[in-house]
Chain A
């Protein structure tokens, strides 16, 4: 996603500040948070906005992330627009309630600064926390930079609250690399965002005592399965709604998110890198350099990981010579989560399959400079063995 704005119209913001500005403009009713480590500066910045009277959300400080999301579920069932934010161990502690929020169809937006999970204790960026939450029933969006973190937060609110969807939406930005780095961001006018997301009108509200409902009851073997199937349908519907929302977002912002993933120099690419988030920016620089040397390499950067765009990705990878999928998380005892998805998609939809490689990179905040990404393309060009899991920047 390229920023087409002149520098003069941009503000210097960290990714965390950009997400906080989105929250200020979305003006949620309730923001339950655990305000201590591993919280990101998203909430610190947002709390300042509230204290300064710039928006009238009620911040509920609680004693743990488990409580934060529990309070979020309660507020959401009462009919409130709810946003929270967390990271790493915080998301891990929240996880039990993430499943419940999704199954109760609470349209909560959760801003996540993606970070490593303990142990060992680390705090730095990787996608272990985000990937841990991939089976919860939430939509998962991944931002490359502070601009995308802002844009995706705004689109997330509308996506979550669409009555065809009604599930939590997680908006991931890379911990530290984006949350704590300042770079140019274009904000939309407050009124435009307000109009874009509209007023939240809950389908059912616990506070609507004229129309009492039961929420979160038991569902034993006679109903549990059917309710899970409804969550499948909700995420399927999220695909359609996402495409609608991104078209509308382009109208108000001029910034185009087309489809489920960004394609960079892909059309004639023989070799393709697939990866999420901030490292995609570095990969674009590498691709430009390699193309000057005549190597036809391109990039796919998924914005949407859940629902997984399997058919679209398989189509984009058809007729390529080789594809390297770079994962910033590992399913220990197996391979990288993004690789496993793409491998399944390619197997399902393509007769003629490209050679697929899987690299694990950047765990625990290990930096990934351009040379490492270039070495992946070199491996593909040299027809390295695709049957082994590869590690990037690991000392062995």
Chain B
């Protein structure tokens, strides 16, 4: 089982991308759960969303305390003490951050000793005409996971977006996917699965 925690701010679509990922994972033949940090939603406040992905039926119905992957959608959360983005993150896990900074700079900031991958998702989103960098990060994560098909994500998108928004979001998704391909080179994710 792979457990993922998303950190964003209310309104940035952490919950939405977690559901899109779970829907695509299901299409790709995996069992999946997506759930937000429950409670009243406040725009701009730090929020979390979660995914479990497995090849077997998932029966756990509790929160995730030791994720394999943490995705940070908003780099300002790295400075927000209450967000605690690396809390419980497995030592051999992965910290994926939307930032223009380097992994070394993020390591200095968070103290996380495991694998750190950074991606300027905001710039990539802008380049395709959207402000929703969460979709770029979703594309990057899908590539990182390795067995979530881009077509399955796009099928999930088609349920959510109208024609024009669909084209832009698919472009953002693919931008993230390609950027991660460059980051990874030939190194897939077998370390945690």
Query: Do the two chains bind?
Result: yes
Residues of A within 8 A of B38 (CB): 124-125, 176-177, 180, 365
Is the C-beta of B187 less than 8 angstroms from some C-beta in chain A? no
Contacts of B34 in A (CB 8 A): 12, 181-183
Q: Is A145 an interface residue (CB 8 A)?
A: yes
Which residues from 33 to 75 on chain B have a C-beta closer than 8 Å to any C-beta of chain A?
Answer: 33-36, 38-40, 57-63, 65
Q: Does A282 contact B (CB under 8 A)?
A: yes
CB nearest to A264 among chain B residues:
B59
B63 CB to nearest chain A CB (Å): 5
A192 at the interface (CB under 8 A from B): no
**What's the nearest-Cβ distance from chain B to residue A255, in Å?**
13
- On whether the beta carbons of A282 and B36 are closer than 8 Å, the reply is no
Q: Are B19 and A12 in contact (CB under 8 A)?
A: yes
- Given A285-B59, A369-B65, 5 further pairs, Cβ under 8 A: A8-B29, A12-B22, A177-B61, A178-B61, A184-B57
Which residues on B sit within 8 Å (CB–CB) of A3?
57
Is the interface on chain A under 10, 10 to 19, 20 to 34, or 35 or more residues? Answer: 20 to 34
A2–B57 touching, CB < 8 Å:
yes
Asked if A281 is at the interface (CB within 8 A of a chain B CB), the reply is: yes
Interface status of B31 (Cβ within 8 A of chain A): yes
Q: Is the CB of B60 within 8 A of A370?
A: yes
Task: Point out the residues of chain A lying under 8 angstroms from B65, CB to CB.
Answer: 369
Which 4 residue pairs of A and B lie closest in terms of their CB atoms, listed nearest first? A181-B35, A176-B38, A281-B59, A278-B61
CB < 8 Å neighbour of A279 from B29, B32, B40, B61: B61
Residues of A bordering B, CB below 8 Å:
2-3, 7-8, 10-12, 123-125, 144-145, 174, 176-178, 180-184, 278-279, 281-282, 284-285, 365, 367-370
Query: Bound state CA distance, A282 and B23, in angstroms?
Result: 22
A282 near B60 (CB under 8 angstroms)? Answer: yes
Interface size on B, residues (CB 8 A): 24
Cβ–Cβ contact A183 & B32, under 8 A: yes
Please judge, given known A-B contacts A181-B35, A369-B65, whether A281 and B23 are in contact too, CB under 8 Å: no
- CB of A180 within 8 A of CB of B35, answer yes
Shortest B161–chain A CB gap in Å is: 16
B residues less than 8 Å from A365 (CB atoms)? 38
With A12-B19, A12-B26: A124-B39 Cβ-Cβ less than 8 Å: yes
Closest chain B CB from A273 CB (angstroms): 14
For residue B90, which residues in chain A have a CB less than 8 angstroms away from its CB? none
Cα A123 to Cα B31 with chains together (Å) = 29
Of B31, B39, B40, B60, which one neighbours A184 at CB under 8 angstroms?
Answer: B31
- With a cutoff of 8 Å between Cβ atoms, the chain B residues found around residue A184 in the complex are 26, 31-32, 57
- Residue numbers in B under 8 Å from A279 (CB-CB): 61-62
Q: Which of B30, B39, B63 interacts with A123 by CB under 8 Å?
A: B39
Bound CA–CA A145/B39 (angstroms): 19
What is the minimal beta-carbon distance from B119 to any residue of chain A, in angstroms?
25
Minimum C-beta distance from B159 to chain A (A): 10
> A282 to B22, Cβ gap below 8 A?
no
How far does the alpha carbon of A11 sit from the alpha carbon of B29 in the complex, in Å?
A: 11
State whether B57 touches A282 (Cβ < 8 A): no
A281 vs B60: C-alpha distance when bound (angstroms): 5
Most buried by A among B26, B29, B30, B65: B26
Q: Say whether, besides A123-B40, A177-B38, A369-B65, A183 and B29 are in contact (CB < 8 Å).
A: no
How far is A10 from B30 in the complex, measured between Cα atoms in Å? Answer: 10
